[in-house]
Structure 1
Amino acid sequence: MTTGTAGADIEAQRHPRGRIARYALVLGGLTAFGPLSVDMYLPALPAMADDLHSSDAQVQLTLAVFLLGLGVGQLVVGPLSDAFGRRTPLLVGVTIFTAASVVAALSPTLPVLIAARAAQAFGAAAGMVIARAAVRDLFSGVAMARFFSTLMLVTGAAPILAPVLGGQLLRWTSWRGIFVALTVFGVTLLVVAASALPETLPKSHRRSAQPRDILGTYVGLLRDRVFVGYAVTIGLAFSVTFAYISGSPFVFQQHYGLSASDYGFVFALNGIGLVLAGQLNGRLVSRFAPRTLLRTGLTLSLTGVVGLVVAAALRAEFPILLLPLFVTVSSVGMITPNATTLALADHPRSAGSASALLGLVQFFTGGAISPLVGLLGGDSALGMTVVMAVAAAAAFTTFAVLTRRPHRHQGKRSDESAQIDHVG
C-alpha cells in the first residue's frame, strides 16, 4: 500500500462517505458563489451595455470590480475565520451577498451596479475563503487533494449551468432577472449552511484577532517563497480562464455571431471538460504526486493557448477554435486542486489566512486581466487569445522557478507536505 493510499484510508475512517458527500455539496455551493456570480450574467453583458448606455469596456468593469472585491474580501474574512471560527463570518457573508444581489437587480445606473457588485463580492468572498479553510480543517494529505477534486463536481457544475441558465433567463426576462436568481441562490445557501455545516475549527486551534498578529501571519506567509509560488501560479492560471470569461461573450456573439443561448451551451461544453479533468485528477492523485499532476495541467494549458493563438491568427472557423479552447479550460480541473493542496499543506494553523492570500492573488490577477482584454479589442479573438497565452506562459514559468524547494530546506517541511509530494 502506498503512503498516499494509507493516508486516504485514515481519512475515510474519520469521515464516512455520506458525510463527505454532504460536505461536498455544502462547501461546493459556497465555492460556487464566484463562478455563479460571474458566469450567469455573461450572456447578458452586451444587453447590459445597451440598457445602461455604456461601452463594452465600461460594463466589463462590473466583472473587474467583482473579482477585486472577492480578493480583498477574502483578505479580511480569512483571518477573522481563523480567530472566531468558520460559521459566524460565513453566515454574515452570505447575508451580505444576498442583500447586495437585491440592490444589483434594482440598479438604475452603471455606478450603482458597480457598487452593488463590490458588496456582493465581499459577501461571496466569505463563502469561498471559508470553504477552502474548512477543507483544510477537515482533511489532510492526499485526502485533501482528493476532496478538492471532488469539489470540482459541484463547483464545475456552476460554469456549466450558469451561462445556460443566464441565456435561458434572457429569453423571458432582462439581465435584472439574473440577479433575482442570484438572490434566491443566496437565501437557499444561507439556510443550508446554517443547518448542515458544523463549526470545523476547534477553539483550541484559533488564532489572535489582533491586527498586529494578523499582519504577522500574512508576513510569514509572504516570506514562504514556495507558498507564494503556488499562489501566483494559481492566480496566473485563473487569469487564463478569466481572459476567456471576460472576452468570450463579445468574441463569440459579436465576432462569430452566436446567440446568447448558443454561447451558454458552448460555455457549458468547456465546463464539462473542467469537471471531467477534476474527477480524473481525483483518481490519479493516489498514484501520482500532486506536483506532477499540477505540472501536467499547466502543460495542457500552455499547449491549448498556443493552439488558440494560431487559430485566431489564421482567422480559423469557430469549430476549429473549440478544440484548443476545450483543452485550455479543462486543464483548470488539474491545476486548481493540486496547487491549492500544495499551497495549504504547510499551514494548517493559519488555513483561513493562507486561503485568503490564495484568493486575493487569484482574483486580483483575474480582475487585472478583464480591462486588458477589453482594451485590446472587446470582440477580437486574437486579442483575447494572446492575453490567455501570456498568462499561461507566466503561470508555467512561476511554477518552475518558485515552487521547487531547495534541497537544504527539505528537512523543514511538514510530514504532510513531504507525503503529498511523494505519493505512489
Structure 2
Amino acid sequence: MHGVMGKQPEAVTEAGTAPSRVMLWLLVAMTGVAPISLYMLVPALPQLATIFERDISIAQMTVSLYMVGIACSQIIMGPLSDRFGRRPVLLAGLGLMVAASAACIFAETLPELIAARFLQALGGATGMVVSRAIIRDLYSRERISSMISLVIAVMMIAQMLSPLTGGLLETAFGWRSIFYVITGASLAVAVAIALALPETRRLRAEGSGFRQDVGSLLTSRAFIGYMLCQVLASQIIFTFAGGGPYIVVMQMGRSSAEYGAWFATTAFAYLIGNLFCVRFSPRHSLEKLIWLGLALQLAGSALNLVWGVIGLNQSPSWLFGTQMLVMFANAFVMSNSAAGAISVRPEAAGTASGAMGFLQMGLGALISQFGAWLGGHFTTPVPLNIAIVVLSIACASTMVFLIPRRNVVVSEQLIEQAEEEESGLL
C-alpha cells in the first residue's frame, strides 16, 4: 500500500496535474455545476408559469425532471468513466450541458424548456459522479473523506448563494439571463478541465469491465453496507426538507420566509460538520468517524422525537435546534461512508459512485414526497420525527450487520498490492 501511495502522486505529476489548490477548485466546479444550476432557476418558477400561461405544477417539472436527470446521469456516467477514462466522459457530459443550457435560452414553450433542463442535468451531473472517482484515484483511503468534505463545504457556500443569484438575474434581466450565466459557467468549467485536468483513471486488468465491476460490488458486503449507510443518511435530509415547510407554515403558522431562514441554519450546520470532518479525517479512521456521526445523528433525532411528543416542537427553535445536531452529524456519516464505498474496489470507483448517487437521488425524490405527506397530513411534527429516527436506526444497522469491521482495510490493501504488482509487470 505504501508503494502505491508513493507512486500515485508521481504518476499524477507526470500526467501534468495542476497544483493541489487548482485541483480542489476543479473538483468543486465540476461537482457544483449541476446542483447550482438546479437552485438558480427556483426563484423564477412563478414567473415561468405566468409567462408560459401554465400551472405552477408544470413549471415545477423544470426542477423535478432535472433531479431525475441527475439520478440517470450518475448510473450512466460512472461506469463509462471507469471504461473510457475520467477526462473524456467529463468533457462529453459538460459539452452536453453547454448545448442543453443554450437550448434553454431559446426555448419557446415550457415543454421545450423542461426537455432541455433534463438534458442539462444529464450532462452536468457527470461532474458529481466523476469527481468522487477522481478523488479516489488521487488520494489514499485515509484522505478521501476529508477531500469529499472539503469539496462539499466549498460547494455549499456557492450553492446557498445560487437562489439569490438566480432571483437577482431574473428580476434585473429576465429568466433567460439565468441560462446565459449557466451556459457561460459550464463552458468555462469544461475549458478548465480540458486544460488542467489529466487522466487519473487507474490501469485496469485485461478482461475487466462493467459486468465484472458490478458483480464484484454487488457481492461485497462492505460496499453494500457503506453505500446504504450513505444513501439512508441522505434520506434524512430529503425527509426533513419535504416535510419541514408544511410543519413550519401550516402547523406553526409562520411565514415561508421565516421557514427559509430556519432551514438555512440546518444547511449551515451541515457545512460546519463537513469542515470538522476535514479536520478530523486525517487523524482517525473513517469507521470511527462514521460511528461518531451515527451516535450524534441518532441522539439528535431521538431528542427531536422527545420534543415532539411533549409538545416543544411547536416552536421552530426546538425543531431546528436539534435538527442542526442531526445535520452536523450527517456530514460525518455521508462523507466517510461515501469514501468507504468507493474504496472497496478502487478501479471501479466510477461505477460505485454512480450507483450510490443514483440511489441517493432516486430514493430522494420519493422520500421527499413522503416527508411532505407526513408534514401536510398531520397536526404535529411527531410523524416526521419518527421517520427520521427510523432512518437513523436503519443507517446505523448497516454498519452493524453489513460491514465487516476488520476486513475492509485489509481487503483494500490486498487490492492495491495486486494493482502495484500488475502495474510493475506492465
User: Contact 1:85/1:206 (CA < 8 Å) preserved in 2?
Assistant: no
Kindly state the Cα deviation for residue 139 of structure 1 after the two structures are TM-superposed. 1.1
Most deviating of 61-70 and 329-338: 61-70
Equivalent position SS for 2:314: coil
Kindly state the Cα deviation for residue 309 of structure 1 after the two structures are TM-superposed. 4.9
Residue 214 of structure 1 is matched in structure 2 by 210
The 1:137/1:235 distance shift into structure 2, 3 A limit, reads same
Most deviating of 46-55 and 139-148: 46-55
Q: Which amino acid aligns with 1:138?
A: L
**Structure 1 gap ranges (5+):** 419-424
Residue 89 of structure 1 is matched in structure 2 by 89
Residue 317 of structure 2 is matched in structure 1 by 319
Normalising by structure 2, what TM-score?
Answer: 0.80
Residue 285 of structure 1 is matched in structure 2 by 281
Residue 301 of structure 1 is matched in structure 2 by 297
Residues of 2 paired with 1:270 and 1:164: CA distance? 18
Give the CA RMSD over aligned residues: 3.9
Residue 79 of structure 2 is matched in structure 1 by 79
Residues of 2 paired with 1:116 and 1:129: CA distance? 21
Instruction: Summarize deviations over 1:217-254 as a string: whole Å, max 9, x none.
Output: 21221111220111111111112222344455666667
Residue 205 of structure 1 is matched in structure 2 by 204
Most deviating of 262-271 and 67-76: 262-271
Kindly state the Cα deviation for residue 307 of structure 1 after the two structures are TM-superposed. 4.3
Equivalent position SS for 2:116: helix
User: Contact 1:308/1:385 (CA < 8 Å) preserved in 2?
Assistant: yes
The 1:239/1:104 distance shift into structure 2, 3 A limit, reads farther
Could you tell me which of 332, 335, 338 is aligned with 1:334? 332
Kindly state the Cα deviation for residue 165 of structure 1 after the two structures are TM-superposed. 3.0
User: Contact 1:36/1:162 (CA < 8 Å) preserved in 2?
Assistant: yes
Kindly state the Cα deviation for residue 111 of structure 1 after the two structures are TM-superposed. 4.4
Residue 423 of structure 2 is matched in structure 1 by none
Instruction: Summarize deviations over 1:300-330 as a string: whole Å, max 9, x none.
Output: 3333334445556735233333312322333
Residue 420 of structure 2 is matched in structure 1 by none
User: Contact 1:239/1:391 (CA < 8 Å) preserved in 2?
Assistant: yes
Kindly state the Cα deviation for residue 275 of structure 1 after the two structures are TM-superposed. 2.5
User: Contact 1:69/1:118 (CA < 8 Å) preserved in 2?
Assistant: yes
**Structure 2 gap ranges (5+):** 417-426
The answer to whether 1:397 aligns with 2:397 is yes
User: Contact 2:247/2:375 (CA < 8 Å) preserved in 1?
Assistant: no
Residue 419 of structure 2 is matched in structure 1 by none
Equivalent position SS for 2:319: helix
Equivalent position SS for 1:205: coil
Equivalent position SS for 1:404: coil
Residue 421 of structure 1 is matched in structure 2 by none
The 1:269/1:178 distance shift into structure 2, 3 A limit, reads farther
Kindly state the Cα deviation for residue 9 of structure 1 after the two structures are TM-superposed. 9.4
The answer to whether 1:192 aligns with 2:192 is yes
Kindly state the Cα deviation for residue 59 of structure 1 after the two structures are TM-superposed. 5.8
Kindly state the Cα deviation for residue 207 of structure 1 after the two structures are TM-superposed. 7.0
Kindly state the Cα deviation for residue 21 of structure 1 after the two structures are TM-superposed. 1.3
Matches within 5 A, 1:338-357: 338-357=336-355
Residue 356 of structure 2 is matched in structure 1 by 358
User: Contact 1:373/1:384 (CA < 8 Å) preserved in 2?
Assistant: yes
Residues of 1 paired with 2:135 and 2:116: CA distance? 29
The 1:112/1:201 distance shift into structure 2, 3 A limit, reads same
Matches within 5 A, 1:131-142: 131-142=131-142
Instruction: Summarize deviations over 1:255-282 as a string: whole Å, max 9, x none.
Output: 52133xx666555443332222112112
Residues of 2 paired with 1:350 and 1:271: CA distance? 31
Residue 236 of structure 1 is matched in structure 2 by 232
Kindly state the Cα deviation for residue 45 of structure 1 after the two structures are TM-superposed. 5.4
Aligned length: 407
Normalising by structure 1, what TM-score?
Answer: 0.80
Kindly state the Cα deviation for residue 127 of structure 1 after the two structures are TM-superposed. 0.9
The 1:244/1:147 distance shift into structure 2, 3 A limit, reads same
Q: Which amino acid aligns with 1:28?
A: V
Kindly state the Cα deviation for residue 378 of structure 1 after the two structures are TM-superposed. 5.7
Residues of 1 paired with 2:411 and 2:244: CA distance? 42
The 1:109/1:391 distance shift into structure 2, 3 A limit, reads farther
Matches within 5 A, 1:116-135: 116-135=116-135
Kindly state the Cα deviation for residue 79 of structure 1 after the two structures are TM-superposed. 1.9
Residue 163 of structure 2 is matched in structure 1 by 163
Residues of 2 paired with 1:48 and 1:378: CA distance? 26
Residues of 2 paired with 1:309 and 1:104: CA distance? 44
Most deviating of 264-273 and 125-134: 264-273
Higher Cα Rg: structure 1 or 2? 2
Residues of 2 paired with 1:96 and 1:389: CA distance? 40
Residues of 2 paired with 1:145 and 1:122: CA distance? 26
Kindly state the Cα deviation for residue 85 of structure 1 after the two structures are TM-superposed. 1.3
Residues of 2 paired with 1:37 and 1:245: CA distance? 19
Q: Which amino acid aligns with 1:163?
A: P
